[in-house]
Amino acid sequence: MTAGLPELDPVIHAQARLRVTVALAALPSGDRITFPRLQELLDMTAGNLSTHLRKLEDAGYVEITKAHQRRTPVTYVELTTKGRRAFEDYSAALKEMLT
């Protein structure tokens, strides 16, 4: 806490990662989305999205699963329980700062 204000999670606080986290948090717990669909929703390049997902994955906030649908590779992204909790804490801290 700085000067009476709560700390904001720096992993989530970066604009692109906040957008990713918000999009994933909108899914019901345990649901996942394909990488191309997330990329489309956020209007991000594949490289930019990959970079931010890697940081979120390193923090344990997202889980990336690579699978195949028939013979086509597919990458799924989902918010982990830890990531959902971190987003809830981030949201609560932001609300506290704004009130």
φ/ψ of 98, rounded to 5, equals -90, -10
Q: Could you give the domains of the chain? A: 10-98 (1.10.10.10)
Q: How confident is the model at residue 14 (pLDDT cuts 50, 70, 90)?
A: very high
- Rounded CA gap, 29 and 27, in Å? 6
Question: What was the pLDDT predicted at 1?
Answer: 46
Q: How confident is the model at residue 4 (pLDDT cuts 50, 70, 90)?
A: confident
Rounded mean pLDDT, 12-20: 97
Q: Name the token pair of 49.
A: 């999205």
Q: How confident is the model at residue 89 (pLDDT cuts 50, 70, 90)?
A: very high
State yes or no: pLDDT of 94 exceeds 90.
yes
Give, to the nearest 10 degrees, the angle between helix 35-42 and helix 46-58: 110
Tokens 């649908």 sit on residue: 69
Q: What is the pLDDT of residues 32-85, one digit of tens each?
A: 999 999 999 999 999 999 999 999 999 999 999 999 988 999 999 999 999 999
Q: Name the token pair of 19.
A: 């957008």
Sign (positive/negative) of CA torsion 50, 85, 31, 43? negative
Question: What was the pLDDT predicted at 3?
Answer: 61
Report which residue type is found at 77.
V
Report which residue type is found at 42.
L
